[in-house]
Amino acid sequence: MHSWAIRVAVLPDELFSTWLARAALAQGCDPMYLTGWLWPRWRAWTVDLDRGLSPDRLATLAARSGLTAARLEAATLRPLLTAVAPGTRPQQAVWPWVLSQGSRNRRRYGGLQCCPSCLSEDQTPYFRRTWRLAWHIGCTRHGTLLADHCGRCQAPVEPHRVRAGDGTLCRCPSCGHDLRGTNTATACTDALAFQVAADEVLVTGQGIWSTAKVDCETWFGLAAKHAGGRIRGQREDATLVCLTKLSLNLQRPSERVLRLRMAYRDMSGEPRGEMLHGQRRTIASCGAVVPDFGLQHGQQRQFARARPQATVQGEWVRLLRRMRVGHP
C-alpha cells in the first residue's frame, strides 16, 4: 500500500477530522476525494470521525499517511472520553461534554468552535481538539468567546467541506468568508476560570469540588450536574442570550457561558444568589455586542427593544475597565 504524496504531521492538540481535511488540501484534493481514496464505499464525512476509526480503517490511514496509528488515535476524542466518562459506550449517541455535530449528509448543524484570532496567528491554521468540548467557551490566550458559526452567513464551522481550490481550512464553505475575520465578544472570566479548572482536572486526573478532593470522572459528573438545570440569575440573562432547554452538548457558547459560570460558583464554594448574577456582571460576562452572539435578525430586533444597545454597551465597557479585561 503506497502512502500519499505529502506527509502532514498532526500539530499540537490538532483535531483528527480537521487534520484529515488539512492533509487533503496539502495533497491538492478535496477532503471528500481523499477519504474516498482511503476508504472506498464508505462515506466517511457523514459520521463524526473525531470519535475514532475502526481498527482496519485506522490501519489503512496509518499506512497511507505515514503516521502511527497511536498518533492518529490520540488526535481523536476517545482519550478524552476515557478520562471524563469512562463508563460511556463509544457507540452511545451523545458523548458527555463533547459538542454534538448533528449531520445531514456532509453538512453539520454545529459542534465545532474556533478562535478566529488563534487561526489568524497560526503559521498553518489548524483546529484544536479542545474546540469540540462543551466546557470550552473561550480562548484563554485572547480572552474572547469561541465562534461556532461563520461571522458572515451564520453557517456552522465546517472545515471538512472546504474545496481543494480554497487552499485553507479557514474559508467558510457556505459563503467563502474567511473565518479569521469573524468578530467575537470578550469571554466571561468566571466561565474561563471554570474552563481552565476543567482542563487541569483532565490533565492531573483529580480536582477539588467545593472542599472535596475527587477524581476526574466524579469532578466532571458534578460539573455536569451543576451546569445543568435552571439558570439562576436575573432577567438580563434571558434577554441577552437565547436560553434553550437543549443539553449542554447542543448549546451555543453564549449559553454555555452562563451554565459554566454557575458551575464555577458552585465548584468554588461561593454562595449562590441573585446578587451574584447581577446585571452588570451579566452584561460584561456575556458580551453586549449583539452580532457576536450570532443572533438572527429577528432576535436582534427583540434585543434592541428589550434594552437600548448604547446603554448596554456603556455598562459593559465600564465593567470591563473595572475588571481590567481587554476588548477589541
Contact residues for 239 (Cβ-Cβ < 8 A; gap 6+): 303, 306, 307
Pick the binder of Zn ion from 7, 43, 71, 141 (CB under 5 A).
141
Rg (alpha carbons) of the chain, rounded to whole number: 20
**Based on CB atoms, which residue is closest to Zn ion, 143 or 221?**
143
**Based on CB atoms, which residue is closest to Zn ion, 153 or 203?**
153
Annotate 86-104 with b (16+ C-beta within 10 A) or e (fewer): eeeeeeeeebbbbbbbeee
**Based on CB atoms, which residue is closest to Zn ion, 65 or 101?**
101
**Based on CB atoms, which residue is closest to Zn ion, 129 or 142?**
142
Q: Per CB under 5 A, does 117 bind Zn ion?
A: yes
In the complex, what is the shortest distance from the CB of residue 114 to Zn ion, in angstroms, rounded to a whole number? 9
Q: Per CB under 5 A, does 196 bind Zn ion?
A: no
Pick the binder of Zn ion from 175, 203, 212, 304 (CB under 5 A).
175
Helix axes 55-65, 31-38, angle to 10 degrees: 110
Q: Per CB under 5 A, does 277 bind Zn ion?
A: no
Give Dmax over CA atoms of the chain in angstroms: 65
Pick the binder of Zn ion from 139, 170, 222, 240 (CB under 5 A).
139
Contact residues for 91 (Cβ-Cβ < 8 A; gap 6+): none
Total of residues contacting Zn ion (CB under 5 A): 14
At 212, which helix (H) or strand (E)? strand 212-215
In the complex, what is the shortest distance from the CB of residue 179 to Zn ion, in angstroms, rounded to a whole number? 8
**Based on CB atoms, which residue is closest to Zn ion, 72 or 187?**
187
Tell me, what amino acid is at 164?
A: A
Contact residues for 253 (Cβ-Cβ < 8 A; gap 6+): 113, 137, 138, 145, 146, 147, 148
Interface stretch with Zn ion, choices 35-43, 153-161, 214-222, 319-327 (CB under 5 A): 153-161
Interface stretch with Zn ion, choices 15-23, 128-136, 174-182, 314-322 (CB under 5 A): 174-182
Q: Which residues bind Zn ion (CB under 5 A)?
A: 115, 117-118, 139, 141-142, 150, 152-153, 155, 172, 174-175, 177
